[in-house]
Homo-oligomer: A and B are copies of this chain.
Amino acid sequence: MTANIAILGASGYTGAELVRLIATHPSMRITALSADRKAGMEMAEVFPFLRHLTLPRLQKIDEIDFSGIDLCFCALPHATTQAVVSKLPRDLKIVDLSADFRLRDAAEYEKWYGQPHTAPDLQKEAVYGLTEFYRDDIRSGRLIAGTGCNAATGQYALRPLIAAGVIDLDDILIDLKAGVSGAGRSLKENLLHAELSGGTHSYSAGGKHRHLGEFDQEFSKIAGRPVLVQFTPHLLPMNRGILATTYVRGDPATVHATLAQAYADEPFLRVLPFGALPSTRDIAGSNFCHIGVIGDRIAGRAVVIAVLDNLTKGSSGQAIQNANLMLGIEETAGLMLAPVFP
Contacts and interface: CB of A to CB of B under 8 A. Distances in A.
Interface residues of A, number: 87
Contacts of A243: 200-202, 234
A276 to B, nearest CB: 8
A14 to B, nearest CB: 11
A194 B191 contact: yes
Interface in A278-319: 278-286, 288, 290, 292, 294-298, 301, 303, 305, 307
A19, A185, A236, A290 — which one has the most chain B CB atoms within 10 A of its CB?
A236
A238 interface: yes
A196 interface: yes
A224 interface: no
Contacts of A292: 202
Interface stretch (A60-68, A115-123, A151-159, A331-339): A331-339
Contacts of A232: 175, 245, 247, 303
A315 B292 CA distance: 32
B234 A201 contact: no
A339 B215 CA distance: 33
B193 A196 contact: yes
Interface in A3-29: 13, 16, 19-20, 23-24
A173 interface: yes
A39 interface: no
Contacts of A51: 270, 272, 282, 288, 290
Contact of A342 (B52, B230, B240): B240
Contacts of A86: none
A199 B239 CA distance: 8
A179 to B, nearest CB: 8
A273 B245 CA distance: 27
25 contacts: A20-B341, A47-B341, A51-B288, A175-B232, A175-B245, A180-B192, A180-B194, A185-B189, A191-B194, A192-B192, A197-B197, A197-B198, A197-B238, A198-B284, A199-B238, A199-B279, A201-B281, A205-B303, A206-B275, A207-B298, A208-B297, A230-B297, A236-B236, A284-B340, A285-B285
Interface of A: 13, 16, 19-20, 23-24, 47-53, 173, 175, 177, 180-181, 183, 185, 187-189, 191-203, 205-208, 212, 228, 230, 232, 234, 236-241, 243, 245, 247, 267, 270, 272, 275, 277-286, 288, 290, 292, 294-298, 301, 303, 305, 307, 336-342
Given A208-B297, A237-B238, 17 more contacts: A20-B339, A23-B336, A23-B338, A24-B24, A48-B282, A49-B340, A51-B270, A177-B234, A185-B192, A193-B193, A198-B238, A199-B279, A202-B303, A206-B275, A230-B298, A232-B245, A239-B342
